[in-house]
A = this chain, B = another copy of it.
Amino acid sequence: MPKVRKDNEQNAMASSRVSRGLQIKGRIWIENEGQAYLSWGRIRLLERIGEYGSVSAAAKSMQMSFSHAWHLVEDMNALAPEPLVEKQAGGRQGGGAWLTDSGKQAIHDFSQLMERFQGWIEHETL
């Protein structure tokens, strides 16, 4: 996981250095036709699904409700050119889930974007 996401608190994806007590913080996210598609939280969910092999285990590891995680996955899959997550027959009650190549690519691309954002903000001052 890139450093940028470990060092910052929940809501701030990137932070500048502190200068005269002041710090610039920022968030970025991706929209598809004006609808939220990828964000820091959504990418973390994808990563956990890849790690745990199920939406429910991934949700649990993030203290997120299963229904919220399920909704986010359905939402991302609908907005993506190709599904990011595939789920085993068994649906909501059971079965596993895994990342497609598009899902892995989305994590990679968003992580790279976040690194560039952190790189930009680090060199900024008010």
Give chain A's interface residues, CB within 8 Å of chain B: 20-33, 37-38, 81, 109-110, 113, 116-117, 120-121, 124, 126
The answer to whether B30 touches A22, judged by C-beta atoms less than 8 angstroms apart, is: yes
- Stoichiometry (number of copies): 2
Q: How far is the CA of A22 from the CA of B109 in the complex (A)?
A: 13
Q: A121's contact among B22, B28, B31, by CB below 8 Å, is which?
A: B28
B26 contacts A32, CB within 8 Å? no
Q: A116 vs B117: C-alpha distance in the bound complex, in angstroms?
A: 12
Contacts of A30 on B, CB cut-off 8 Å? 22-25, 126
Listed by A's residue number, 12 A-B pairs whose Cβ atoms lie within 8 Å are A20-B81, A21-B32, A22-B32, A23-B30, A24-B29, A24-B113, A28-B121, A110-B126, A113-B126, A116-B124, A117-B120, A120-B120
